[in-house]
Structure 1
Amino acid sequence: MKLFSGLSHQALAEEVAALIRVPLGNVRLGRFRSGEIYVNFEESVRGKDVYILQSFSPPINEHFMELLVMVDALKRSSVGTINAIIPYYGYARQEKQDKPREPITAKMIADMLTTIGVQRVITFDLHAPAIQGFFNIPVEHLTALDVLAEAVRTLRLENAVVVSPDAGRVKTAEKFANLLDLPFAIVHKRRPGHHEAAVTHIIGDVKGKTPIIIEDMIDTGGTILKVVERLMENGAKPAIVCATHAVFSPPAQEKLNHPGIEKMIVTNTLPIEERSFERLQIVSVAPLLAEAISRIHEHRSISIIWQESDSVKE
């Protein structure tokens, strides 16, 4: 087994390598003056099970192309298997056509990865779980709900409620509420545009309670801010916001430093140290990735790390 990292999130790759006790592989990544990507694996990969960790962090197009070039280099080097670890799977917000003549980019990315030679994908909390079906190769769809729930438990909150920020997150919120043994509420909203949201009403009792908002990703923070403000209008206390993927596109930091947000808990599926702020707590998914890699390599079941509250997938 060999583990390599692209340039998107080397800190996470190093953490995973230390946990599985495999040295991070040597790969030379460079750019020609024209901007084209150059890759050279500086050690033999013949017959090896290779794992490449590359999250789709900004600049997403650059890092995606880098992953494709790395996979092509491996495929031409008589590698055993090629496993792409993509903690944050970008382009997942376009998984269906909401309007005529729109792309389905989540399927496009899946097709490109499969065509270039990826034989397995390991990822976290897809924006739409049905994206797994876009692949004709194994997809290990892990969840960070357990590590986020553990971080919330340490806060020892009293009189709390889990809140789904929209109808699409209801199932996730219900699982999170089951993990924390808490009730849950639903915020109903509509989207006039890609980065716009209008909250219409709240289903459930939030008055006098600490809302725990659970999201798969936070981009600009505009939607979360509107949800928090509406919850406070309905008598809720400052919120705890949890999310797997901290995209944090500007001006997310300014928006999320809001008095209505007591704490924000996110994972490190994306590198966010440079975009950190006072109320932010980062929990690591490296132990989950390390366990998944070890079990896959040893042909053992990974059902123990799925930890879904209502079912276990073998």
Structure 2
Amino acid sequence: MLTSILPLLPNSLRIIISNLPIKLKEQLEEIRIREDRPLEVLSAGRYVFVAQDSTLLKDSQKAYKPSREDCRMLLELLTNHSVYSFEEELRRGYITCSGGHRVGLAGRTVLEDGRVKSIRDVSSFNIRIAREIRGTGIKLLPYLLDTDEGRPYHTLIISPPQQGKTTLLRDLARCLSYGEWTISPLAQLIPTGLKIGVVDERSEIGASVQGVPRFDLGPRTDIMDGCPKAEGMMMMIRSLSPDVLVVDELGRPEDATAMYEALHAGIRVIATAHGSSLSDVSKRPVLRDLIEEKLFTRYVILGFRRGDEQVIQVLDEHGNRATSGRFYRLGKADDG
């Protein structure tokens, strides 16, 4: 996926990043570019600074420091030389690029009626590399499937930022669409994949280009790209009759309202939320009622990654372990 990132970088940065060690590039997760401050990358869970000759450093003082021109050109390339057409993205503080990569932005904000209207003088960029990693969801499916109904339980995936929840969400959508069951009774119960509706507000789940996902989400998946979650869920419910709705990062009151509609329309929902525990997210007003009413029947808690491994806990609607007290380790995760 790095090949889709390099054309978005100004020449000076493109040369540095393309000459990084091969193993580091294969596991690259973030490129952090800050005007007149050290260039930094995250790979395999470890941050390092980078010199102009692509040498990896611990000493920030010897690292390459992107110039104002580097940052200006980077923003031009990210917005296809039309910054004003990305005003909504700038207001939200990120730009999603082709390939599902998300670029976080910081700089001087412009306010209107006390609210952020846009970001000018962008001086910090966090390029988060999106990767399709298959197999992260298949180990969890036996604990997320309601064998009585032949569909997954209403599931909320909870994790701190950048611990792989979008990677897991994407792979669960793919597995359910293909019908990749690992236990034979499930294969008999659900002989084909399910109809999946993905609402991809930030274009991160499917990495769609002109409405067509570039990541494999399965043969029975419909995707609403670049659409606000609440509106997208209602559109899916009314017109596409999904068996399962998949959405990323619940956070607004209208998201909860649309969730109620889906949950009471007989559609199963798999969603994600930022947090470190069930008690953590239950304090958020948007999710509190959904949790207290036990509308989610499974919670997947992603722990912090340690290298290529990660401890994952599955809880039921009461907050009890749904895996007989066992934890399951998944492989590499890259985003979310």
Q: Establish whether TM, by shorter chain, passes 0.5.
A: no
- TM-score w.r.t. the length of structure 1 is 0.34
Quick one: higher RCO (CA 8 Å, sep 6+), 1 or 2? 2
